[in-house]
Chains A and B, each alone.
Chain A
């Protein structure tokens, strides 16, 4: 069965600094998708970034980028120039064939001013 592990329950970053959130996963498939979702205090789930496993190039979305290591089954999220609005719970998620998402336990990100 597929699993997603986020080993950092909580992280802190100074405003304008860079932070990296870790995620590892396990799957027997060669074709899959990986996502990072953000959940602010409102609890609305917001898609931050996605990565297709068949693409070697790491996805980027403005200040958010990933480091996708397929062989190591690692998918970390880097947030550059952190802002107060980035404070939230971040979830890593894996999607295989069948379009079902498996989520990690989440990492709480605190941004200090």
Chain B
């Protein structure tokens, strides 16, 4: 079976500090990977997606960047955090598995980021 991991679960960072959030997927190969942000009480906004190693598409210009150094690893980064970067960050994957296709996304447990 497939599983998706995110860490850390919770993070409190000062303004201007760097950020690195990691997401890994197990049990599948060549997945599509996604980073979403959810502001308090709001829906999810797609930030980045990747269809392969080194291939990153950005949906929203911002203070963040993403990288995919390995097939099943997706990293969200920032050089200098802003207050507005606070939120709940969710990683998701889609791919060919028994019972699903690239048209279905599965989400990780999320990271709650607070920038002070």
A105 to B105, CA, bound (A): 18
**What is the number of contacts between chain A and chain B, taking CB atoms within 8 Å?**
52
Contact of A91 among B32, B43, B46, B88 (CB under 8 A): B43
Number of interface residues of A (CB under 8 A): 21
Assuming the contacts A45-B90, A99-B94, A100-B59, asked whether A106 and B42 have C-beta atoms less than 8 A apart, the reply is yes
A59 at the interface (CB under 8 A from B): no
B-side interface size class:
20 to 34
Other than the given A44-B109, A100-B46, A100-B49, 18 more pairs (CB < 8 A) read: A33-B103, A35-B104, A42-B109, A43-B109, A43-B110, A43-B112, A47-B104, A47-B105, A50-B104, A99-B105, A101-B34, A101-B44, A101-B46, A101-B105, A102-B46, A103-B45, A105-B43, A106-B43
B42 and chain A: residue at smallest CB distance: A105
**Does A19 sit at the interface, judged by CB under 8 A?**
no
Tell me which residues from 64 to 108 in chain B have a Cβ below 8 Å from any Cβ of chain A. Answer: 88, 90, 92, 94, 102-107
Interface string of A24-48 (1 = CB under 8 A from B): 0000000001010100001111010
Cβ–Cβ < 8 Å partners of B59 in chain A? 100
Task: Write out the residue numbers on chain B whose beta carbons fall within 8 Å of the beta carbon of A99.
Answer: 32, 49, 94, 102-103, 105
Q: How far is the CA of A51 from the CA of B53 in the complex (A)?
A: 30
